[in-house]
Amino acid sequence: MSNVVIGWAKRTPIGKVGGTLKSYRPEKMAAALIRQMQEETGIQGEKIQDVMLGNVVGPGGNIARLSALNAGIPVNVPGVTIDRQCGSGLAAIELAFERAKWNEKALFLCGGTESVSQAPWKMEKPSRPAQELPVLFERARFSPDEIGDPEMGEAAENVARTYQVSREIQDEFAYKSQQKAVRAQKEGRFEEEIVPLGQINEDECPRANISMRKLKRMPAVFQKNGTVTAGNACPINDGAALAVVTNQQQANNLGLDTRFSIVDSCTVGVDPNLLGIGPVPAVRALLERNNLHISDIEIMEFNEAFASQVVASIQEMGISWDRVNLGGGAIALGHPYGASGAVLIVRLLKEMEVANATLGIATLGIGGGMGTAMLVEQQK
């Protein structure tokens, strides 16, 4: 079994829905990353074994294959698109990791791409041929009614109530996420990990003008007298992220960075009504089978879909806030669904590099009731 490394990882800027990236189709964003990867690494397209990308609200078809062809990758290189909701981008990297363990010529492009701005509208099938006004298809089902299939925000309220996460601590977490992201952006900490799209070279969502006073004034969105607001939840976004996953020998042959290796990855199921707590059993299982303790993890990147679920997970795991999302998270940077898991890996590698950390984890809660986590080690 080979040591599996991430030889290159970068992302696009993240834009608001209808914002700076609204004109970029998902395959165009991914193709831009592929071309930049080839320019920086010198990897020839024919050496790539597969292209694996997460995508959730795209037009269908096979975005991974389309992205590769848009980037000029040879037609004999296949592609596969993965939908594990918010965990899709990390699932693509996990699939590459599993395949690369036993493949001496392994070389995979993996990650995710998402344009919510260009997501197609869908209609329910008419109940009768003469029906004049079709009904808008609102969303996919994640769980049967008898178990519970809450809206994402309702599930976040369930987590807040079950794990006693107050409105105040959610707002505080959101405020700190914004502060960290704004500071990192001003310091230029994102510049090396971002591949510009045209003239767009920075994330659109970090809010320098946010304050605790403004956050406290925001109304609850999903439940009367609830705690989840637009301020302590993530925005809706466009963006993409890409990683090169290969084995140590291939990376050495190609002159790739070999500092970061994937140690292990784990995905579990949880109650769909409490989907945001998914990172807790996923991380616990990951630590247990690698004989590690939470105190061994120096940096953790959570997907901040909602502050309630991250705070609840932090409390349950017993990890310090100062080890989590050091450059801010999705509340400030944004959440481009199918790309978010790969964005977390890009961010994790950068923060581990800056901090000279040995072990880090990227983790997400997933619609339908799942949690996923990936353990990364930096060789020194």
The residues carrying an active-site annotation are: 86, 335
Q: Collect all residues with Cβ–Cβ distance below 8 Å to 116 and sequence separation of at least 6.
A: 17, 57, 236, 237, 238, 336, 337
- Give the torsion through C-alpha atoms of 272, 274, 280, 282, to 10 deg: 10
- Closest Cα partner for 363 from 252, 282, 251? 282
**DSSP string computed for 135-163:** PB------S-TTT----HHHHHHHHHHHT
Amino acid at 202: E
Question: For residues 106 and 256, what is the distance between their CA atoms, to the nearest angstrom?
Answer: 13
What is the DSSP pairing of strand 50-54 with strand 79-82? Answer: parallel
How far apart are the C-alpha atoms of 50 and 36, rounded to whole Å? 17
Q: Could you count the other beta carbons within 10 Å of the beta carbon of residue 33?
A: 27
- Burial class, 177, CB count within 10 angstroms (exposed 0-12 / middle 13-18 / buried 19+): buried
